[in-house]
Amino acid sequence: MSITGVYKGLDNVPIKETVISTIDGEKGKLYYVGYSVEELAEKSNYEEVSFLLLHKRLPTGEELKDFSNKLMKERTIPNEIWSILEKTPPGAPLMDKLKAGVDLLGLFDGEAEKTDKAARLSTAIRIISKIATLVAGVYRLKKGLQPLEPDPGLNHASNFLYMATGKKPNALESKIMDVTFILHAEHELPASSTAALVVASTLSDLYSAVSAGIGALKGPLHGGANERALEMLMSIKTPEEAEQYVLRELASKRKIMGFGHRVYKTFDPRALIFKSYLEQLSEMRKDRKLLEIANRIESVMIRELGSKLIYPNIDLYSGPVFNLLGLDKEIFTPIFAAARSVGWIAHILEYWEDNRLIRPRAVYIGPGPRRYVPVDER
């Protein structure tokens, strides 16, 4: 079969059919199984959204209670894994520690290699639950602190924030963390979801596939953009300086972090939700500095580049939110991974319903057939 054309970055190349999520980039809309992310962020919670993505429908009240209890009961990490992770180099990136932790979890899961639907779903619940504990634990280890035991009285997101910071969150902090997990739970097929699918298509196990997703998310072109957006905001002292910063960077043809998206051609809907919560959190903390700088950068960028369809994305406002929650920037991408684990797994389970090994081709542009020349004749 002859091969023609190269689609760099697989731009607009579909590799699966899905009912899990869809993005309307022109209108700035994101839907999970048909439900708008705005409505889910307002009315739902991460446990219910996880059920929705895995089962492709909302749960009944009893189903939600049962699912939430299963997640709660699976939060604990074996002590042997903590002992191993404690021995890893202190300066190693948290994403590498997280990836190692997920691989270790696979070794301790007796059902990891089972392929029946019930076993795979049980494994999925364990991963989604434990990965949040892992993120909080490796974060504390890197700060020279011991991981905290999960609190069964807190929901998934609130428990994560407690395990990361050591403080029980208040109502607003809990809601913001829950919305954070919801907004990061799924986003069709970015690089990390695709990487996880490629591994899963070989019929490898869920832990290996999720580990691949973490590896892809670690890359600065995928995860980590909110870290750099926060660094940018914190380097600017006043809103007045923000305008000059933007104009100077644009004149030098440098990228402004937190703007532009491969799919969205208007506001990223997740950015608008985060902006709203940043306003509330800034009022509660009585610290509006990052909010006002971000707002000024947004207004200048829209004035200068709105005609080119470059608008704020989720990274502009998520970093300041995490900062005001008391979280260091090194945990931002691991939070993304913890939340997105359900999206990766949902796509994998859906793909396994009609699995085909993902095996792309390359267009060869090298020399034609030629004779090997022995080394002493060259």
Indicate which residues carry an active-site annotation.
222, 261, 315
According to DSSP, residue 112 is labeled T
Written as six digits, the tokens of 102 are 């997920």
Q: What are phi and psi of 200, to 5 degrees?
A: -65, -35
One-letter amino acid identity for 340?
R
**Closest CA relative to residue 99, chosen from 115, 114, 81:** 81
SS3 30: strand
One-letter amino acid identity for 182?
I
Cα 187 to Cα 32: distance, rounded to the nearest angstrom = 9
Cα 49 to Cα 53: distance, rounded to the nearest angstrom = 6
SS3 369: coil
For residue 285, the number of C-alpha atoms closer than 13 Å in the C-beta half-sphere is: 20
Written as six digits, the tokens of 312 are 């704020």
Helical spans, DSSP H, in 58-144: 61-73, 79-86, 94-108, 117-142
Q: H or E element: which one contains 338?
A: helix 332-352
Written as six digits, the tokens of 146 are 């011991």
Beta bridge partners of 31: 22, 36
Q: Which residues contact 8 (CB under 8 A, 6 or more apart)?
A: none
Written as six digits, the tokens of 199 are 């591994």
SS3 23: strand
SS3 370: coil
